[in-house]
Amino acid sequence: MARIRSIRSMHITVVSALAAFGLICAAPSFAADVTTPFAGKAVNGGTVTHEHRSGKHVLTVSTDFQVPGSPDPHWQVVDSKGTVYLLDRLKLKDDKINRSITLPAYISDVAKVQMWCAWAEVVLGEASFATPIAMK
């Protein structure tokens, strides 16, 4: 009887250890990717987080991100090949801010996120991911 308890206890320990190991290995896949802080002429500080929500890739600026005072700031992403994609405006009507953006399906990966002034045609600030984020 004592031997059966010992075997059962050992079995529970092994299963628990395997479950814990599986959770530890799976944890990085649940983690969101975060860029370096923005650096540039008008945008310094704040980061961008990449998340996969409902089958779509979403970029969101952090709460400490300061919206630039330029007249027409836009989201812009750069892929690993250097292709630049100009996306939606950052500032919307009635002083609302577009803090998140859903990436279009034609973008294959994202290496950098930029804030671009479409009026002055200049990069206001740039933040990079440690490794390009694949969209597939």
In tens digits, the chain (136 residues) has pLDDT values of: 666 656 666 656 555 554 444 444 433 445 689 999 999 999 999 999 999 999 999 999 999 999 999 999 999 999 999 999 999 999 998 889 999 999 999 999 999 999 999 999 999 999 999 999 998 7
Assign residue 72 the CATH number of its domain.
2.60.40
pLDDT at 33: 96
66 and 113 co-located in one domain? yes
The helix (H) or strand (E) run that includes residue 56 is strand 56-61
100 and 49 co-located in one domain? yes
The total of structural domains in the chain comes to: 2
- In order of 56, 82, 87, the CA distances from 46 in angstroms are 23, 23, 19
89 and 36 co-located in one domain? yes
pLDDT at 22: 47
DSSP string, 69-135: -SSSEEEEEE-TT--EEEEEESB-GGG-B--EEEPPTT--EEEEEEEEETTTTEEEEEEEEEEEEE-
- Residue 12 sits in which domain range? 1-31
Predicted TM-score of the model (pTM):
0.76
